[in-house]
Amino acid sequence: MIEMTNISKVYQMGEKKVEALREVSMKIEPGEFIAIMGPSGSGKSTLLAIMGCLEIPTSGRYLFDKKEVSNLTDDELSLLRNEKIGFVFQAFHLLPRFSALENVELPLIYKKVAKDEREERARRCLEQVGLGDRIEHAPSELSGGEQQRVAIARALVNSPRLILADEPTGNLDSTSAQEVMDILSLLNQDKKIMIAVVTHNPLIAERVKKVYHLKDGQLVNEAK
């Protein structure tokens, strides 16, 4: 379970302070699928970065599985991200020199999983997202939709508790976007993985259980 209470994030830009998040509180129950919406600069990505333990809030309390994230060291945060969180980015962020299989293996390398087991688990994840026949392909040989499915397989490979997707369909055509959302919905239903999606797309927001709206770093309302 994720519980955020009065989370604020302030960035120091030279002498100027920029408040990216103000007193945001939210709760995501196990197996929940939520969407975060809002205009550009409203603090969606910052909220996602804090949820993903990539950033530490300036103030407030963030509990991930009842653990206070602010008290963790950098190494402990890395471990938490590795074991419990999966990321899906708008621009996929696959490593260009690696094949689809090797890209999916990446989180397992940091978990010190042996090569054979790594390959086996990565292969299974790629099959799960319908790319069993494309495992040796480099990212440049895959379509946008396929690359995003590789990214989902990479997010999935460590059996995370939470998947954070930042505009996962932003660079995709409508068919591929539909496929990606189908996969995420299926993972949420079958594996009870918490999923948080940042999106501008109201059609995607319609498919989730809860939608949070952010404006100027503040949570303005909670829909559904």
Partner 1 sequence: MRLSDYLYLAKKDLTNYRLRSSLIILCICVGILSSTLNLYHTSKRAEELISSLENLGGQMISIWVQDKEIQLEDLFFLSSYFPYTSYEVSYWQDIRSFRKTKISVSIIATVPEYQQVHSVKIKEGRFISLGDINQRRKVCVVNTPVASGLKIGVGKKIRIGEDELRVIGLSKEEGMSKRVIIPLSISNEIFESDSRNLEVVILTSGNPKAVKKEIERMLKKRFSDKKGRTRQGFLFESEGFTVSIAEGLLETIKNQRLTSKMIVLGIWVVTLILAGGGIINLIMLSVRQRYKEIGVMRAYGAKKEEIFYLFLLEGILLSVYGLLLAGAIGASYVGLFGGCKFLIFLRELLWSSIICIGIGICGCFPARLAAGISPSEAIRDAN
User: What residue ranges bind partner 1 (CB under 8 A)?
Assistant: 45, 49, 52, 54-55, 74-75, 78-79, 81-83, 87, 89-91, 93, 95, 97-98, 106-107, 109-112, 115, 154, 158, 166
- Our CB check for partner 1 shows the closer of 110 and 189 to be 110
Could you tell me the smallest distance in angstroms from the CB atom of residue 180 to partner 1?
17
Pair 184, 205: CB distance under 8 Å: no
Contact 198, 165 (CB under 8 A): yes
Least Cα distance to 144 among 86, 92, 95 occurs for 92
Distance CA 208, CA 204 (A): 7
Minimum CB distance to partner 1 smaller for 66 or for 112: 112
Side-by-side strand order, sheet with 2-13: 16-28, 2-13, 59-64, 67-68
Nearer to partner 1, 45 or 176 (CB): 45
We find the least distance from the C-beta atom of residue 25 to partner 1, in angstroms, to be 21
Nearer to partner 1, 91 or 223 (CB): 91
Residue 91 CB, shortest distance to partner 1, in Å, is: 6
